[in-house]
Structure 1
Amino acid sequence: MIARVATFFVKLIVGFVALSLAVTILYKFVPIPVTATMLMDENGITKDWESLADIDPNLVRAVIAAEDGKFCTHDGFDREAIETAIRRNAEGGRIRGGSTISQQTAKNVFLWQGGGFARKGVEAWFTLLIEQVWGKRRIMEVYLNVAETGIGTYGAEAGARRYFNKSAADLSPLEAARMAAALPLPKQRSVTNPSGWLQRHGNTISARIGVVSRDGLDACVYQ
């Protein structure tokens, strides 16, 4: 009995590894058709896949500045940010995350929103996979196409059309910064008419776009 159960779990694990690797390889080359987050969105889905070449570099640099300054140098995990988040969360108050763009992409593509150690463990597995199989440029391309950018809106192109009535290929630094500032809470944060802290945050990100370019923090995307 114990042997049969052990065999079952071994086959289950091997099957999961094989399937996840196959899907990851497939998505290295084809657009992601839909995600669990999209399917569960009661507001519907508005999206339009664009290659990274058709997304303004201002947006790439804005999300690096806002979300993950070490994107080009870490292996998918920013251990310093994770340790800082754990320490601050233990102190109480607003819960803070330490997720990288790679981790967010793995979650958005393969999993679902919400917490839980089991989901975080699977997220880590997929993060390792996409770092090894896709590489940084593809991770950024997928992230900017599946991230929720507004109510029922997904991806850079749909977001740019929604907020600025223009293509994601033509975003100004400030427009890109405002989209990046809203990404953590796109249903709650205003992109076109930010005020207070959100406006200041967007302005800060806009200023940092030049730093990202100057210091080569986007080199893994545009090398």
Structure 2
Amino acid sequence: MLRRALGFLIVTLTVMVALPIALVPVYAIPFVHPVSTLMIGDWLRFRSVQRDWVPIENISPVLIRTVMLSEDGQYCSHRGVDWRELNGVIDDALDGQETRGASTIPMQTAKNLFLWTSRSFVRKGLEVPLALYTDLVLSKSRLMEIYLNVAEFGAGIYGVEAASWHYFEKPAFALSSREAALLAKTLPAPSRRDPGKPSRQLAQLARGIEARARAAGDFSACVVANGATEARAEERG
């Protein structure tokens, strides 16, 4: 029995290592549209899944900037992991303090594509090498495109295009800065936050990140290169 369990564990770990190594280069191909483990889980349980893949150039630049600022402000400068933030979380955990989130967008993308959602040090430990590998193989623009197309924005709602139509009845390229902020602040807790009918807390969080995004300098050049398009998008807000 023990030998069988050990064999199963070895096979499982081998698959968990081999699958991302094989798939991430495939995901670099523009016409390949990856799906998340959550989407696969919904399909296996015969649940409704809404997801309409949209290329990065058809996503409002103000949404990209706002999500980046909210989720991973150092996205353009790190190589998959923000070591300063991660070391701070580890220090807090060792001191017995409540830990904060330190997942970068590459780490969240790796989790969405290959891992499970429940928090654990095992999952976090797996996220780190996967994020480093994903960031190495994929361009920043392609990685952001995948993230915004697999992220969960509500029960069965995946990706910014489906979320934009579901909550605001418009495509992702037409989002205002206010709507972008509401979607960005829904990402950490999609099961408890409704950007279409925001609570007072969500509305306050959205106002804060919207103001920060307007005031921030040029921190998104690795993804958003068209300043004129970005300016028009912000004017709609």
Same fold per superposition (TM over 0.5): yes
Q: Which runs of 5+ in 2 are unaligned?
A: 1-5, 226-237
Q: 1:221 maps to which residue?
A: 223
Contact persistence 2:152–2:187 (CA under 8 A): yes
Question: Normalization by structure 1: what TM-score?
Answer: 0.85
Q: What does 1:80-119 correspond to in 2, within 5 Å?
A: 80-89=84-93, 90-93=95-98, 95-119=99-123
For 1:107, the aligned partner's letter is: K
Secondary structure, in 3 states, of the residue corresponding to 2:222?
A: helix
CA distance in 1, matches of 2:37, 2:142: 20
2:169 corresponds to 1:165: yes
2:234 paired residue number:
none
What is the alpha-carbon distance in structure 2 between the residues aligned to residue 88 and residue 194 of structure 1?
32
The code of the aligned residue for 1:221 comes to V
1:38 corresponds to? 39
Secondary structure of 1:149 counterpart = strand
User: Counterparts of 1:1-223 in structure 2 under 5 Å?
Assistant: 19-29=19-29, 30-41=31-42, 43-89=47-93, 90-93=95-98, 95-212=99-216, 215-223=217-225
Listed one character per residue, the Cα deviations across residues 60-102 of structure 1 (whole Å, up to 9, x for unaligned) are 0111121111111111111222233334454445x52210111
Contact 2:38 2:112 (C-alpha < 8 Å) held by counterparts: yes
Cα shift at 1:116: 3.0
SS in 1 for 2:223: helix
- Other structure's SS at 1:219 match: coil
Q: State the number of aligned residues.
A: 211
Structure 1 residue 39, shift from structure 2 partner: 2.2
Q: Structure 2 CA distance, aligned partners of 1:83 and 1:122?
A: 16
Shift of 1:16: 6.4
CA 1:198 to 1:19, structure 2 compared with 1: closer, same or farther past 3 Å?
closer
The two structures, once aligned, show a CA RMSD in angstroms of 2.4
Deviations 1:136-195 (A, max 9, x none): 111110000000011110000000001000000100000000000111111101212323
Closer, same or farther: CA 160–16 of 1 in aligned 2, 3 Å: closer
Cα 1:149/1:31, change in 2 over 3 Å: farther
Kindly tell me: are residues 196 and 17 of structure 1, through their superposed partners in 2, closer, same or farther at Cα, counting changes over 3 Å? Answer: closer
> Is the alpha carbon distance of 1:16 and 1:144 closer, same or farther for their aligned partners in structure 2, counting shifts above 3 Å?
closer
- Gap change, CA 1:88 and 1:120, over 3 Å in 2: closer
Q: TM-score, normalised by structure 2?
A: 0.80
Distance, in Å, in 2 between the alignment partners of 1:145 and 1:114 is: 21
Structure 1, gaps ≥5 residues long: none
**What displacement does 1:27 show?**
0.7
Report the more deviating stretch, 60-69 or 159-168: 60-69
Q: Which 10-residue stretch deviates more, 58-67 or 169-178?
A: 58-67
Structure 1's 18 and 173: CA in aligned 2 closer, same or farther, altered over 3 A? same
Q: Distance in 1 between matches of 2:97 and 2:132?
A: 30
Q: 1:28 to 1:171 in 2, by over 3 A?
A: same
